Structure 1
């Protein structure tokens, strides 16, 4: 019985290692079809790898290798031993640290209002997307949208910007599911809050070229008093990205790409930077950006937060990770397409002077969410 328990724990540690590798791999700008094959192979190895080791060892406990002490067997035994140790030591410690992680001190307050779109509409706006059948599964939280209001303190914020509001939308993934009426209900709720000074869209707008037609009736209704700014993400990269940019510009939305511009907001300058790396190149060049000016970075992936900190960015808004979409009680996220794996899966972080907010997104190509509601973020800046 003890041997079986040790084997299962080693299997758990092995699965954790493979998921970290998969998360890191999914941060890379790989071909979409290659990624699918890679994910399938990694999934098979997660489940079949330990069975292969059992076949090699001829016994359930990989640490008992005295009968077959070849270099190959010893190497596999070492790996399974490390996996076992990770499962019983590192994984619990990492989980405890994540559970005890406190919000950054500059996050002055966070409140959330839940919009139950199914209740508002009187039915589930499942739509007709490729995976629409998933939206009807029990316990799916796809139609419960968190409207999160964050009060973020910024040192030396211009007095004119006290209470400056930013509406942050990310990862719409227009694909047919959820249906258009789902997004219409979210937009109606955004408008109820009144006008925002800035509206920011941080990528992954479409998942099929057909749904470029959704951009105008949905996003076209949201206008920032001082501008609406957008970048594209990896799912836009896989589609007709030029058509997406063109449609956004038709709506007077500034599509930053990998560029920046300095604008006056309430009489004070702000440099707004777009970062669509690693999918679109070259990256933003800030050599000529004015110094001493507040910098707002819109980056689809939060992986560039350390780059942002090195460039003196005060506030960075990202999406991409969806909070993992499927979260386990206590443990949290599993699959997060980031070079840093689960570190920046969702929420607000302080990284070397940069405040990073990672939005969980409004939609997803695979319409499944568990313990991870879709999200719209409202950010209010305060002087500290």
Structure 2
């Protein structure tokens, strides 16, 4: 990449009157292909980061459409402007100085941005395991057959989506994950948490799908159940909540927060009230201290940037109130973008969702799309950066009824003491 950049810059600064050396067609093809790839790459990076912001949905969607249109229009206009000199370059009869200077500058900018973003993107591929936590994972998959699809697909749109080749929207992955935590109170070794995320009640999927998830979580004999946001997308589905979530059973309580899609209903507080009416504890934007076994768990709910998160003073006060030296600090966050916040406040474990695992994953490469400020770096999986371990669920539903190599996930987590 450095050679290509230096060559392009050197060629672009040759005086117009000088006799420029012929450009190798292979070199020209390589540079132009990289520029086009980088053009799409930085737009993809912008899309991922746009969807991590706390803007209103209408503003984000409008900006998405503008960005998408600009991506293609600008490429088309540039193509028209440089069609002749590019054809000459690709046949070995042209020079770089025939390309307009502003387009040369844009090309160099694309190569620089593409080189930086591309290097980071490669470094964060799941296959390399950067910052991944050493967990043990056992997966059981409930493969959806025709009868299952018929039972769960509530609308024609859902039925049509389920017929797309490779779509795993109803292939539930029940993932038993053993997470070692340094400093975990000995009495909490083997502690069981059922983690649910991104329910996305849109009306397209029958509520019996989530009822089955709750049943599976109950069979795990969970001591705690945690739901990390994006519960309801449309107002009428709020009425489903009491019947769906009342059967949830966990000895030490069921806790939830809201996510960005919960802002789409006309009254998000109605979601909170419906969940609380059947015994779920709302920890959104605040802290809760729970006594579990012979220890205590400080639970904090982080709904930033769409709603609130606990202040530093609140966290410190609850830590003071924790009378036991055996205390686990647990953060429920909708977005993995709050990883650094959790680390700064010394949380031992953070559970989150939001990214859906990218909705699709390429072989070896992994996810590309991910609504996060960090792109697809934290799209799904288990990560560790001292002192916090983060578990990112692929979630259970979605507005987009498509999952490719990315099954919905019910996380059944067992905490383990990590040997020092």
TM-score, normalised to structure 1, is 0.90
How far off is 1:68 after superposition?
4.8
CA distance in 1, matches of 2:159, 2:299: 37
Q: 1:187 corresponds to which residue?
A: 214
1:120-139 correspondence runs (5 A): 121=148, 123=150, 125-128=152-155, 133-139=160-166
8 Å CA contact 2:191–2:415 kept in 1: the answer is: yes
Is 1:172 aligned to residue 199 of structure 2? yes
Higher mean C-alpha deviation, range 19-28 or range 114-123: 114-123
Task: Mark the CA change 1:270 to 1:122 in structure 2 (over 3 Å): closer, same or farther.
Answer: closer
Moved over 6 A (4+): none
Question: Structure 1 residues 115 and 68, CA, compared in 2 at 3 Å: closer, same or farther?
Answer: closer
Q: Partner of 2:37: helix, strand, or coil?
A: helix
| Count of residue pairs brought into register by the alignment | 379
- Aligned residue number for residue 72 of structure 2: 47
Show structure 2 runs of 5+ residues with no match: 1-24
Counterpart-to-counterpart distance in 2, 1:16 and 1:354: 31
Higher share in helix? 2
Q: What is the match of residue 307 of structure 1?
A: 341
Partners in 1 of 2:115 and 2:405 — Cα distance?
Answer: 28
Q: Which has the larger radius of gyration?
A: 2
Aligned partners of 2:311, 2:142: CA distance in 1, in Å?
A: 36
- Cα shift at 1:235: 0.6
Equivalent of residue 245 in structure 2, options 219, 224, 229: 219
- TM-score of the pair, normalised by structure 2: 0.83
State whether residues 298 and 316 of structure 1, in contact with CA within 8 Å, keep that contact through their aligned partners in structure 2: yes
Which residue of 2 is the match for residue 15 of structure 1? 40
Please give the alpha-carbon distance, in whole angstroms, between the structure 2 residues aligned to 1:52 and 1:365.
Answer: 34
- CA shift at 1:57, angstroms? 2.7
2:97 is aligned to 66
The 1:210–1:314 alpha-carbon spacing in structure 2 relative to 1, beyond 3 Å, is same
> 1:289 aligns to what?
318
Structure 1 residue 118, shift from structure 2 partner:
3.4
Counterpart mapping for 1:31-42 below 5 A: 31-42=56-67
Q: How does 1:1-384 map to 2 (within 5 A)?
A: 2=26, 3-4=28-29, 6-58=31-83, 59-60=85-86, 64-70=95-101, 72-82=102-112, 90=119, 93-94=122-123, 98-101=126-129, 104=132, 106-107=134-135, 109-118=136-145, 121=148, 123=150, 125-128=152-155, 133-193=160-220, 195-239=221-265, 240-281=267-308, 283-285=310-312, 286-290=315-319, 293-384=327-418
Which segments of 5 or more consecutive residues in structure 1 lack a partner in the other structure?
A: none
